[in-house]
Amino acid sequence: MSFDAATKMQFLYALRSKGVTDARVLTAMEQVDRADYVKGTFAERAYEDMPLPIACGQTISQPSVVGLMTQALQVSPRDKVLEVGTGSGYQAAILSKLARRVYTVDRYRRLVQTARAVFEANDITNITAFTADGSHGLDEQAPFDRILLTAAAEDPPGPLLAQLKPGGIMVLPVGQSDAVQSLIRVRRTDEGLEYDELRSVRFVPLLEGLGQE
């Protein structure tokens, strides 16, 4: 599936109109072709601002939400970032354009394998994808400058907070899975943890253990 320049311009315009204004984030989103991360019949809708189904009953998030979350994370070029919820790999690919190194985990092996193949096909070499229950974080690679959850937790998971460096930022949706959730940002400052609420969102729940596929 290939899209023309006008479709991509319109996509970037839609992102800006929904509040994604950070130039580095917009450039990263321009560099990553969302069609690579959406399979089959839905690929032709890759440049619409909506979530779409992927394998294992999961979804690739809405691009404007991806943009707003990435913007809220304030990633710098030297950062080591952890993403929980690889899904299609789209969000990780965007983070890879902004950070030094990205670790991403999903509880479905099948999603991780598919995402790895897309990273390789696109010559993205600074992402490491693992099959793991991300609610425990990734002890071997901790601590992280930035942590992003793309599945909703009832509360910020303790192990992930513990893996955040001083000065670090974590962005995540919190709330019950069947209700409207809040996107929140947690900063680790010298005084402790500082929270701010960004907007309402709707994500799949953060589940325990590994998936069957």
- What amino acid positions are annotated as catalytic residues? 61
Nearer to ligand SAH, 5 or 67 (CB): 67
Least distance in angstroms from the C-beta of 108 to ligand SAH: 5
- The reply to whether 111 sits near ligand SAH by the rule CB under 6 A is yes
Residue 61 interacting with ligand SAH (CB under 6 A)? yes
- Can residue 114 be called a binding residue for ligand SAH (CB under 6 A)? no
- The DSSP result for 8-56, as a single string, is HHHHHHHHHHTT---HHHHHHHHHS-GGGGS-GGGGGGTTSSS-EE-GG
Count of beta carbons in the 10 Å neighbourhood of residue 176: 10
68: which DSSP letter?
H
Q: What element of type H or E holds 169?
A: strand 164-174
Q: How many residues bind ligand SAH (CB under 6 A)?
A: 24
Q: Which lies closer to ligand SAH via its Cβ, residue 148 or residue 169?
A: 148
How far apart (Å, rounded) are the C-alpha atoms in residues 65 and 42?
19
71, 96, 150, 181: which one contacts ligand SAH (CB under 6 A)?
150
Dist. CA 18–CA 95, nearest whole Å: 19
Residues 189-208 that bind ligand SAH (CB under 6 A): 204, 206-207
Binding site for ligand SAH (CB under 6 A): 58-61, 84-85, 87-88, 90-91, 105-108, 111, 133-135, 150-151, 204, 206-207, 211
